[in-house]
């Protein structure tokens, strides 16, 4: 386990917290402040510990001087100030004398947010290429580094790996700790352990399938990727999504784990990728050349629920249909609602399924919603996350 914040002595020190303030913005306004809200626990704890607090985060991608205008963290400082009910200072620079001066003038319990770390990408991609001097500069600003940005933990950037490698002491914040606690349950899962996989391409999920197939009791497959599996079983899938490059992979895995992989028995089809063309439910054996399957059918939902009902742990990644279309979100919504009312420990593993859960209003009834996107997926593939690997190990038990 990595060193945790509440096991680290930060009292009266200067802490550098790498937050994930990569919030959606429109015309300079924050349209969803969830990520800022999620960072509050760590920041408030540091205030209580009488520390001087320097916050770092990226916001979007910054390649040119022009990009900078739209990608300033200034609105985040204002929002954070409202949420904390205290002043949050904002420094328009990311490195240099001005930053040093502002940090030096901080008093205990004061909070300073530096400008978007990716401003450093305009010249030589210093942040994203983990420029050694930049990481060392940020590390020089404080005594302890706290990484609380799970969403970028799969990247080795100057603002995570760079700082952690240059500073004397580092730990993970409460947000990353929660993510790791939940995701670590997947290493030795309580059984029956059932995995639900959806989304578009088989190719994107191969790593997850390979990493979890031995541990899982069942893998329920829906979404566009189910059609590639059905094609591998030689069903006619018409114009449905097919990840032809990975047909062979599907064949092999079905042959190796015939009892484990559960595919749809019926689908909701239409003729065009549209919400408005007429649709019907069909057994998979009835699909025709002109059909395009965009959701799982009622019988499949029932079968999936039967496999889920006795599960002790469920991991779900990827929607079971084109949930963006009102007419093809039924499968995803029904299974989400089933799990939300079942009290089965369910982990939603990042990406689109998190948006589905939010839209369905079931977030607070799900055991853990992993918001890491790419980081969650890489974790599920069994990969090490460099942003976490470089943090000090916890030598204290308990
Ligand atoms: P992913 O990013 O791989 O998790 O894929 C998410 C996307 O898969 C969403 O945009 C869904 O609309 C899409 N999707 C789910 N089911 C289907 C389907 N049957 N046909 C085409 N796209 C699908």
Residue range 130-141: mean pLDDT, rounded: 98
Average pLDDT score, the chain: 96
Establish whether residue 350 lines the binding site of ligand 1, counting it when its CB lies within 6 angstroms of any ligand atom: no
Name the residue with the closest Cα to ligand 1, atom 7: 199
Name the residue with the closest Cα to ligand 1, atom 11: 322
Name which of 196, 179, 185 is nearest 339 in CA terms. Answer: 196
* 203 tagged catalytic: no
The structure tokens listed for 261 are: 């992989």
Residue range 78-90: mean pLDDT, rounded: 98
Establish whether residue 321 lines the binding site of ligand 1, counting it when its CB lies within 6 angstroms of any ligand atom: yes
DSSP designation for 394: P
Instruction: Give the torsion sign (CA, 80, 127, 96, 147).
Output: positive
The catalytically annotated residue of 4, 35, 38, 71 is 35
Find the helix packing angle between 34-48 and 174-184, rounded to 10°: 110
Pocket test for ligand 1, best of 319, 325, 330, 351 (most atoms within 8 A of CB): 319
pLDDT tens digits for 262-288?
A: 999 999 999 999 999 999 999 999 999
* 374 tagged catalytic: yes
Residue range 145-160: mean pLDDT, rounded: 97
Looking at the predicted structure, is the pLDDT value of residue 398 above 50? no
Residue range 325-330: mean pLDDT, rounded: 98
Cβ(143)–Cβ(166) under 8 Å? Answer: no
Looking at the predicted structure, is the pLDDT value of residue 93 above 80? yes
Cα–Cα distance, 102 to 207 (Å, whole number) = 45
Pocket test for ligand 1, best of 195, 221, 223 (most atoms within 8 A of CB): 223
pLDDT reported for residue 27: 87
What does residue 182 show for φ and ψ, rounded to 5 degrees?
-70, -45
The structure tokens listed for 11 are: 């009292």
Pocket test for ligand 1, best of 195, 200, 266 (most atoms within 8 A of CB): 200
Establish whether residue 352 lines the binding site of ligand 1, counting it when its CB lies within 6 angstroms of any ligand atom: yes
Name the residue with the closest Cα to ligand 1, atom 2: 199
- What separation in Å is there between the alpha carbon of 227 and the centre of ligand 1? 11
Give the ligand 1 atom nearest the CA of 205: 3
Cβ(89)–Cβ(114) under 8 Å? Answer: no
Cβ(158)–Cβ(120) under 8 Å? Answer: yes
Residue range 72-100: mean pLDDT, rounded: 98
Task: Please give the angle made by the CA atoms of 169, 398 and 177, to the nearest 5 degrees.
Answer: 60
Cα–Cα distance, 12 to 369 (Å, whole number) = 33
| Cross-strand bridge partners of residue 247 | none
Q: Distance from CA of residue 221 to its chain's centroid?
A: 20
The residues, ordered by sequence, that sit 6+ positions from 268 with a Cβ below 8 Å of its Cβ are 279, 280, 281, 293, 294, 295, 296, 297, 321, 327, 328, 330, 331
Looking at the predicted structure, is the pLDDT value of residue 397 above 70? no
Cβ(202)–Cβ(243) under 8 Å? Answer: yes
Cβ(182)–Cβ(347) under 8 Å? Answer: yes
Q: DSSP letters along 232-274, please?
A: HTT---TTS---GGGHHHHHHHHHH-TTTEE--SEEEEESSSS
Residue with tokens 């990408």: 121
Cβ(51)–Cβ(111) under 8 Å? Answer: no
pLDDT tens digits for 154-182?
A: 999 999 999 999 999 999 999 999 999 99
pLDDT above 70 covers what percent of the chain? 99
pLDDT reported for residue 350: 76
The structure tokens listed for 146 are: 């706290």
pLDDT reported for residue 396: 57
């Amino acid at each position: 386990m990595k060193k945790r914040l509440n096991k680290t002595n930060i009292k009266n020190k200067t802490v550098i917290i790498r937050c994930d303030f990569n919030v959606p913005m429109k015309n300079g306004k924050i349209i969803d402040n969830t990520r800022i809200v999620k960072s509050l626990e760590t920041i408030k704890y540091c205030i209580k510990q009488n520390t001087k607090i320097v916050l770092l985060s990226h916001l979007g991608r910054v390649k040119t001087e022009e990009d900078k205008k739209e990608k300033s963290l200034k609105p985040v400082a204002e929002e954070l100030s409202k949420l904390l009910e205290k002043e949050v200072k904002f420094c328009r620079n990311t490195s240099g004398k001005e930053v040093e001066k502002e940090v030096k003038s901080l008093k205990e319990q004061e909070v300073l947010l530096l400008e978007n770390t990716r401003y450093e990408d305009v010249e030589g991609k210093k942040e994203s290429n983990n420029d050694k001097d930049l990481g060392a500069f940020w590390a020089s600003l404080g005594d302890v580094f706290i990484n609380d940005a799970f969403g970028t933990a799969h990247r080795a950037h100057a603002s995570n790996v760079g700082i952690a490698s240059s500073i004397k002491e580092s730990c993970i914040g409460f947000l990353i700790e929660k993510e790791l606690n939940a995701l670590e349950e997947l290493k030795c899962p309580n059984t029956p352990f059932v995995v639900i996989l959806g989304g578009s391409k088989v190719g994107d999920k191969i790593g997850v399938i390979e990493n979890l197939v031995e541990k899982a009791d069942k893998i329920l497959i829906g979404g566009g990727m189910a059609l590639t599996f059905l094609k591998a079983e030689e069903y006619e899938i018409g114009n449905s999504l097919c990840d032809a490059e990975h047909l062979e992979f599907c064949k092999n895995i079905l042959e190796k784990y015939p009892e484990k992989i559960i595919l749809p028995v019926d689908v909701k089809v239409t003729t065009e990728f549209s919400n408005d063309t007429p649709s019907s439910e069909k057994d998979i054996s009835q699909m025709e050349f002109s059909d395009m399957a965009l959701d799982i059918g009622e019988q499949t939902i029932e079968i999936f629920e039967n496999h889920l009902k006795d599960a002790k742990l469920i991991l779900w990644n990827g929607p079971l249909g084109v949930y963006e279309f009102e007419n093809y979100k039924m499968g995803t919504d029904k299974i989400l609602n089933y799990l939300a009312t079942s009290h089965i420990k369910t982990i939603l593993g990042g990406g689109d399924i998190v948006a589905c859960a939010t839209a369905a209003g079931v977030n607070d009834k799900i055991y853990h919603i992993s918001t890491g996107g790419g980081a969650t997926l890489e974790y599920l593939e069994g990969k090490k996350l460099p942003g976490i690997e470089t943090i000090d190990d916890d030598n204290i038990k308990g």
